[in-house]
A and B are shown apart, each in its own frame.
Chain A
Amino acid sequence: MSDSPSLYIDGDTLLHRLDPRAKLALAAALFVGAYAFLDPVVVAVPLTLALLAVVLTGALANLLRLWFILVALFVVGLVVWPAFTPPAGPVVVDLPFIEITRRQLTASLARSLRIVSFIVTGVAFVSTTSNEEIVRGLRGLGVPYAFCFAVGTALRLFPTFLGAAGTVRQAQEARGLDLSASNPIERVRKFVPLLIPVFMTAFRNVQTQAMALEARGFDTQSDRTFYNEASFDAVDWAATGLSLVAIVGVAALALSGLG
């Protein structure tokens, strides 16, 4: 993991410039595309588009950071799903303890590609959308201001607490705390000395932070105005329209029996 926990990569590509709501619409179209079909060739289409978005926006490094998760989910899907798929068609894998038919293999492959497609699309979204844009997008979608404020504050506080967690962990290890136990229960138990300081530091300031907010006129009851309102430009409308057309098209193709 790099120093920054964020996957956001600053850039000036078309995807970076899009309104977060338009990016969400595009992501939704890719999600629906990957969800609607169970033919691995068809599921590979949204996956390829998501990979293309990742490469074109310079987010490939983020994907490489997550390679272990992607490979693990793909393999787990391939191993698990044949057991839950009725056999049909010729046997393609014939081992002493297991037989896998063509239908079981293709269904498993499609489901594994689906989960990878979801993650790659998610990486493309978070790599091109800053924390502030995510909150602005939520607000633009009509999510109440208090909720958006809580999300934004959590996103700002989270790296601070992450740093504190790391510092406390190093300090306790320097005092002899051994976190390398192989027993998961023993390992979990040893985290108590790490959790208390992080936890108490975090909550000590809640009262004063709330008073500071109220002193600055924070009010959840009245309507707010914003200095920097988000504009939804023609290119955002175009991306959203394209996404809607894609979603309707995918639904029609899936209902007609394709894939």
Chain B
Amino acid sequence: MREILTMWRDTRMIMLVAVVAAVYAAVLLPFKVFTILPGLTSVRPANVFPVIFGIMFGPAAAWGAAIGNLIGDVFGGTFGPGSIGGFLGNFFFGYVGYKMWGNLGPLSSGVEPDFRSKPFRQLVEYAIVAVAASTACAAIIAWVVDALGLVPFSVLAPIIVTNNTIAAVILGPPLLYLTYPRIKDMGLLYTDLLRDEDVTVSTPSRSQLAAFALLLTPLVWIGVGISLFGPSSTPQIAVGALLMVVFLAGAALGGERLSSIVGA
């Protein structure tokens, strides 16, 4: 996980954080009017960005998504304590993608996410990554918002999962097909920008364990949170804290498989 801190030494990664944040916020805001559940969520095509930017820009996308969502809150008029959840949730929305791509064992395509070769296998892998990222984001935001007594976990979490997943799964493959080769040609993949010692590569078995932890922990979190405990209750908050620790442990365990796929 050290790359999320060491990336701040590189000027191009810092510029990427700023640009990711600005693009995310700029596309979030005009679509706030397309409401699904009034006041809670709207059609958010921008939700595809943290996932595909995460795969391409690595830790810069994680920070950029977090900052971009915060800017969306400030300019959209919803800035408040709930923005802490939005910051954390969107950070991991961008973080999960580059940790998981290539680490899903038999479910991985084993190629770069450009949808040129093995398109069906890439689609399966991408869909799993998108669901994991969307679910992690939803679980974290709903946990914080529930703890603040604003909206019950069991109401908000399924809405965010659905909203994030629809945008990410439908828009992600065509966007990656059209942009990944160009971004790679520009030399802006995180593997091109970070120093070798910052792009940690762990053993395949450990990376797989981490990837499945990142996939399963948020799914269990949402299942347990919806079915077992009442909103804003101590068990709900405590289980969320425990699963957050497990999720962070999964994040810390894995290396970045994408880096070895692209030969960095």
Question: Which of A's residues lie within 8 Å of B, judged by CB?
Answer: 5-7, 31, 35, 38, 62, 65-66, 68-73, 75-77, 80-81, 84, 111, 114-115, 118-119, 121-123, 125-126, 134, 144, 146-147, 149-151, 153-155, 157-162, 164-166, 169, 184-185, 187-189, 191-192, 195-196, 198-200, 202-204, 206-207, 209-210, 213-214, 218, 220-221
Q: Is B25 in contact with A188, judged by CB distance below 8 angstroms?
A: no
- A202 proximity list for chain B (CB < 8 A): 19, 22-23
Q: Is B63 in contact with A150, judged by CB distance below 8 angstroms?
A: yes
Q: Is A5 in contact with B80, judged by CB distance below 8 angstroms?
A: no
Q: Tally B residues with Cβ within 8 Å of A.
A: 66
Partner of A203 from the list B14, B21, B75, B188 (CB cut-off 8 Å) is B188
- B204 proximity list for chain A (CB < 8 A): none
When C-beta atoms are compared, the residue in chain B nearest to A76 turns out to be B39
Q: Is A31 in contact with B39, judged by CB distance below 8 angstroms?
A: no
Residue pairs across A and B with Cβ atoms less than 8 A apart, 5 shown, are A118-B82, A126-B75, A150-B18, A153-B22, A169-B30
Complex Cα distance, B27 from A220, in Å, reads 29
- B179 proximity list for chain A (CB < 8 A): 196, 199-200
Known: A126-B79, A154-B71, A158-B71. Is A165-B8 also a contact (CB below 8 A)?
no
- B67 proximity list for chain A (CB < 8 A): 150-151, 154
Complex Cα distance, B79 from A121, in Å, reads 8
When C-beta atoms are compared, the residue in chain B nearest to A201 turns out to be B23
Q: How many A-B residue pairs have CB under 8 A?
A: 209
Q: Is A7 in contact with B77, judged by CB distance below 8 angstroms?
A: yes
Q: Is B75 in contact with A7, judged by CB distance below 8 angstroms?
A: yes
- B150 proximity list for chain A (CB < 8 A): 77, 111, 114-115, 118
Complex Cα distance, B264 from A193, in Å, reads 32
Given contacts A147-B8, A202-B23, 20 further A-B contacts (CB under 8 A): A68-B38, A73-B39, A76-B37, A76-B151, A77-B151, A118-B150, A119-B77, A119-B79, A126-B77, A134-B74, A144-B8, A154-B17, A154-B18, A154-B67, A162-B26, A192-B175, A196-B179, A198-B27, A203-B19, A206-B12
Known: A162-B30, A195-B27, A198-B26. Is A111-B149 also a contact (CB below 8 A)?
yes
Which parts of B1-52 form the interface with A (CB within 8 Å)? Answer: 8-12, 14-19, 21-23, 25-27, 29-30, 34-40, 43, 45, 48
Complex Cα distance, B37 from A151, in Å, reads 30
Partner of B25 from the list A73, A154, A189, A204 (CB cut-off 8 Å) is A154
Query: With an 8 A cutoff between CB atoms, is B117 at the interface?
Result: no
By CB atoms of chain B within 10 A, which of A119, A196, A199 has the most?
A199
By CB atoms of chain A within 10 A, which of B39, B40, B48 has the most?
B39
